[in-house]
Amino acid sequence: MNTQLQRMKRLLEVGRTLNTITELRDALLLILDAASELTNSLGASILDPEPDEQNLRFLVNTPELQMLQTLLIPIDESIAGLAFRNKETVVVNDIRNAPRHSRLADELSGIFTYSVVACPILFRGEALGILEVINKANGANYTGEDVMLLETLAAHAAIAIQNAHLQQQLEETREEAKRLDKMKTDFIAITSHELRTPLGLILGHSTFLRELVSEEYHEQLDTIIRNAMRLKEIIDSMTRLHNVQSGVASVRRRTVSVRKLILDSLAAVRKDAESKGVTLGFDIENSDLMIEGDAEKIGVSILNILQNGVAFTERGGYVFVTAEEVPGYVKIAIKDNGIGIPAKDLPHIFERFYQVESHLTRKHGGMGLGLSVAKMNIELMGGRIWAESTEGQGSTFTILLPLDADQARAADKVFIN
């Protein structure tokens, strides 16, 4: 490797090979081999700082210097430390002129160091470590070309080290996300289980008392029963989420009328719609349209979206449901002219507990579970659900469900609206 062209080819080869290596140690060893070879050095090392930045430790070495792996080099008393502190390459061609040279490595390795180049590994101005070569062959001096080659290899090392750091941070973030998700799932399971029994007693006794007390107390008991039922809906939603996520939920398919599913859901929200002055409507292309699916899960999904539409539509607005058969599927669309969903929130509305409104300023009820339950139910049956919205103009939620079990199994992963 004597000619400049050969050196450049070797550098290019190193760069290409690094793109195929996933393990940091393998990448750094490749860089060290190239550093030692291209500068005609006895050996090469990469050092990185201890957390307190008082010492440098040998991260990887070429085989000739492997015995240094456990050695710590004082940053303030070494050539490598000088390069690290100043973030500049240090070249020493006669070690006798370098009073900061640490003899610890020489004593441990039995190799007398007479020349050295310490090149900082820099990433965005931060020193991540040092690339060092020692003892150029035949007692020759290190040249400016050697320094250029080493600084190029140090740049490759910086990218490899930084990528490894980022990968580690990503893994830690994923683990933390898993831990938090498990805590959330456990919370749902425990809360729904522990609240169900006392809530059942409240509902049972309130209903019983209503039959016994005089009519003047009916309004108060109706308030208790109505709010207890609201809590029951929340607990049921939490339970459904937990069942799907834990794999307990199953699909009980039977042939059901799409018209009946829609009309039953509309009937369930009619009282709330009337109290808000919101008009409900529907248009079903084929009144005899049937689907093979889980009636309860489909009904809950439609109901949750309808409740959402009524809640976020102002007085005088409307919520309209359409249903039609498309090849292999039933397409149900629920459209409103309510307040709409901000563009920044639209990708997240099917996430558990996601609230479009701030909890400090929100005017509408709910825990952010209804749409999550709808999505999980629909996808459990091999269907898809999505939303389109313009803030201030309203929203359209579309459900696409396979007509039967065979279609569900054969469903393609790509759906066209």
**Which burial class, exposed, middle or buried, applies to 296 when counting CB atoms under 10 A from its CB (0-12, 13-18, 19+)?**
middle
By three-state DSSP, how is residue 340 classified? coil
Q: In this structure, what are the phi and psi dihedrals at residue 102, rounded to the nearest 5 degrees?
A: -85, 125
Q: What is residue 246's predicted lDDT score, i.e. its pLDDT?
A: 64
Q: What is the pLDDT of residue 102?
A: 76
Tokens of 217: 């107390």
Residues in Cβ contact with 395 at an 8 Å cutoff, skipping those fewer than 6 apart: 309, 312, 335, 336, 338, 340, 341, 387, 388, 389
The pLDDT score that the predictor gives to residue 19 is 84
Q: In what order do the strands lie in the sheet with 41-49?
A: 72-74, 55-61, 41-49, 126-136, 116-123, 90-92
Strand intervals (E) in 173-294? 254-257, 279-284, 290-293
Residues 339/293, Cβ–Cβ less than 8 Å: no
pLDDT in tens, 44-58: 999 999 988 899 999
307 close to 300: Cβ distance less than 8 angstroms? no
* Predicted TM-score of the model (pTM): 0.54
Q: 201: which residues sit within 8 A by CB, 6+ positions away? A: none
Give the pLDDT of residue 390: 92
Q: What is the structure's pLDDT at 181?
A: 77
Output the six-digit token pair for 53. Answer: 């930045």
Residues of the chain with pLDDT under 70: 1-2, 237, 241-250, 353-368, 408-417
Q: What is the pLDDT of residue 408?
A: 66
What per-residue string of b and e applies to 376-402 under the rule 16 or more CB within 10 Å gives b? bbbebbbbbbebebeeeebbbbbbbbb
The two tokens of residue 153 are 């290899």
| Contact yes or no for 92/79 (Cβ under 8 A) | yes
* Torsional class of 125: left (φ above 0), alpha (ψ -120 to 50), beta (otherwise): left
